[in-house]
Amino acid sequence: MSRPAPTQVAPGVHRLGDHGVNFYLIEGPDGLILIDAGVPAHLEQLRGLLAGLGSSVADVRAVLLTHGHPDHTGLAHTLQEAGAVIWIHERDAAILHDGPRSATRHAKPERSMLPYLLRRPSSLALVLQLARAGAFTAPAVQDARVFGADQVLKDVPGAPQAVVLPGHTPGSAAYFFADRGLLFTGDALVTEDGLSGHTGPTIVSRCFTHDSRAALTALDRLDELTADLLLPGHGAPFTDGIRTATQQARHLGVH
């Protein structure tokens, strides 16, 4: 299946992935970093973008994972082998260590997927697409760098702030680049939910979320931040402000 070409969503910031999942490459004076790592089938797309920038996977210094789900960690092992440092919250590190099939054991979803598939059978294509793209068979990742609380990652180019947002998974986190007005929310706040078919700011459906009430509560942390651009793990960039996004997500609630 052909994949969309990467798009530049802000100066020096490129959106990669496909219609189901996003990850991002950030250029900076101190080097290249990735926010999340897509699925294994995204490797050629990433290599093509890097080649166009005169770089290669060996030039990626760090990968900041928003959480441990396999549609966001698929290239982490490849990039680590090439020299990148992998970062993740300590409560999701076990998923990386044990491999993608362990995700439901370490972060059990609240609800079965079956009711969503019965209500919207076309959403099964998203799961099958992830399987074909190698999401559930990617290698495990050892020796990731972890953080346990909100902190500035001073060893990462751009020194982003890791913002802990438990709920979608126990170790979900966002990354905030205050000087660039960028907030990467992973799946703690998305603008498209493929299972429910909802478009617009929301937390993710209960069949992929560990604790939806905690996920809604975690949105309060985002209200403390100010960013020009919100970049989610699923769906389009959001430019109408963080508080607008969190208000819409709270209004929709758990689904």
SS3 label, residue 208 = helix
Contact between 182 and 222 (Cβ < 8 Å): no
* Short-list 204, 216, 52, 42, CA closest to 129: 42
pLDDT digits (tens, 9 = 90+) for 99-146: 999 999 999 999 999 999 999 999 999 899 999 999 999 999 999 999
Euclidean distance between CA atoms 161 and 176, whole angstroms = 5
**Domains delineated in the chain:** 7-252 (3.60.15.10)
Contact between 47 and 76 (Cβ < 8 Å): no
Arithmetic mean of pLDDT, 195-214: 96
Euclidean distance between CA atoms 93 and 87, whole angstroms = 9
Kindly give the interhelix angle for 242-252 and 212-222, rounded to the nearest 10 degrees. Answer: 160
Arithmetic mean of pLDDT, 50-68: 98
Structure tokens at 174: 């966002």
Euclidean distance between CA atoms 242 and 238, whole angstroms = 8
Contact between 110 and 209 (Cβ < 8 Å): yes
Looking at residue 215, its pLDDT comes to 98
Phi/psi of residue 80, nearest 5 degrees: -65, -40
* Short-list 89, 129, 124, CA closest to 197: 124
Euclidean distance between CA atoms 79 and 171, whole angstroms = 21
Structure tokens at 255: 């689904």
Looking at residue 1, its pLDDT comes to 44
Give, in degrees to the nearest 5, the angle at Cα 166 between 93 and 43: 50
In the 8-state DSSP scheme, what is residue 179?
G
The predicted model scores a pTM of 0.97
Euclidean distance between CA atoms 241 and 6, whole angstroms = 24
Instruction: Indicate if the pLDDT at residue 2 is higher than 70.
Output: no
**pLDDT bucket at 4, cuts 50 / 70 / 90:** confident
* Short-list 228, 163, 193, 201, CA closest to 13: 228
* Short-list 220, 188, 212, CA closest to 65: 188
Euclidean distance between CA atoms 223 and 128, whole angstroms = 35
Which amino acid is it at 170?
P
Instruction: Indicate if the pLDDT at residue 221 is higher than 50.
Output: yes
Distance linking the first and last C-alpha atoms of the chain: 30
Contact between 229 and 10 (Cβ < 8 Å): yes
Instruction: Indicate if the pLDDT at residue 40 is higher than 90.
Output: yes
Instruction: Indicate if the pLDDT at residue 24 is higher than 50.
Output: yes
